[in-house]
Chain A
Amino acid sequence: MCATCGCGHSHSHSHSHSHSHSPGHEHGQGHSHDQGGDFATRLVRVERDLLAHNDAHAARNRALFAARGTFVLNLVSSPGAGKTTLLVETIRALAGRCPLAVIEGDQETGFDAERIRETGIEAVQLNTGKGCHLDAHQIEGALGGLPLRPGGVLFIENVGNLVCPAGFDLGEHHKVCILSVTEGDDKPLKYPDMFAASDLLILNKTDLLPHVDFDVARCADFARRVNPKIELLRLSARTGEGMAAWLAWLEARIASPANVAGMGTGG
């Protein structure tokens, strides 16, 4: 079993979970101590969230972003969906109009941060090693190396992974999910947590639509089943098709007083 994320410990279901996992208690396994001679136990209430540690760091990040008037997006996707290329093209389109900074996340290499720096923008590369997502503590550590100025945008490009990043608040205003048309239109139902956690879905590589079996309407319908409020954009970072709508989405929110006051939803 992967010690980091527990993969390899799956079990199959032939039908919906409601049959196999009815709500209720499951009794824990016994243990090797002799309970006969044990002292009487007492029950202490705890009521503490396992993710509180990450959420505390995320809250500090959120407060810092608000103080600096910076709009922050957490870009999530499978590996290869086109996050970095979209960022490079977005930076080229926005350059000079507002301050920009990027945090890149990958298991290994500095390739992506290098590509960003070639555009003239500052980027910090985080390498997670065996880790499969960025967490708020790592982001906190990276912020010292970046200029965050009022009216600016910080793009956080998460580790390519359609599962784990869904559960980790980094302090962002929004998670933006990028799905490329080569990945199949059923992904929103197969990976619901990620689409539920994202406020915007960008369908990328639309220039390849003639060459793949991807039903845009079906994908949109599935995404809305998981998250009725999710917004949708279609574009090709490579050809530029649809980029104007994405830039308009960004510019409307960068300028929003709610963002400057730090009232983005994030999480």
Chain B
Amino acid sequence: MHELSLCRSVIRIIDEEARRQRFERVRRVHLTVGAFSHAEGEAIRFAFPAAAAGSIAEGAALEIERGPGRVRCLSCGAVWERMERVAPCGDCGDYAHEVLGGDELKVTSLEVI
């Protein structure tokens, strides 16, 4: 997707939270990138230093939690967590599914001073 512009969104969120939660510098950024989101963790890691340059998160470490997607099989009702967007149900082999979650793309927390 647009990992550089996503990283700029991270910096914007950090600046807003710095005012709200009163901190001055960020040492570590915790992100959640869901398996069914449209972003790629490695590309975020690559783009982050460029976006953070000159900001209060410059030099901060990045921790990316890759959450799995959650689906319910529409044939047998089994609920699965998985990283693949499309896969047969582990119980009945059918592909038809409903997505229950796993597309989050968010800043979960920050380690700050």
- Residues of A whose CB lies within 8 Å of any CB of B are 1, 3-6, 9, 11, 16-18, 21-33, 38-51, 53, 132, 163-164, 166-167, 189, 192-193, 196, 224-226, 228
Q: Which residues of B contact A132 (CB under 8 A)?
A: 2
A203 smallest CB distance to B (angstroms): 19
Q: Are the CB atoms of B96 and A38 closer together than 8 Å?
A: no
How many inter-chain residue pairs (CB < 8 Å) link A and B?
152
Interface residues of B in 47-72 (CB under 8 A from A): 47, 59-68
Given contacts A16-B84, A43-B109, A50-B9, contact A6 B1 (CB under 8 A): yes
- Within 8 Å by CB of B4, from A4, A11, A30, A51, lies A4
Interface flags, B1-42, vs A, CB<8A=1, else 0:
111111001101100010001010001110000010111111
Q: Is A17 touching B83 in the complex (CB atoms < 8 A)?
A: yes
CB distance from A46 to the nearest CB of B (A): 5
**A167 CA to B32 CA, complexed, in Å:** 16
Q: Looking at the complex, which one of B46, B61, B74, B99 makes contact with A30 (CB distance below 8 Å)?
A: B61
Residues 72-104 of chain B, each 1 if its beta carbon lies under 8 Å from chain A, else 0: 001000000111111100000001111100001
State in angstroms the CA–CA spacing of A3 and B5 once bound together.
9
Q: Which residue of A lies closest to B65 (CB)?
A: A25
Quick one: given A9-B43, A228-B97, are A41 and B109 in contact (CB under 8 Å)? no
Decide: A26 and B64 in contact? CB cutoff 8 A.
yes
User: Which chain A positions have C-beta within 8 A of B68?
Assistant: 23
Q: Which residues of A contact B84 (CB under 8 A)?
A: 16-18
Name the A residues within 8 Å of B113 (CB-CB): 38-42
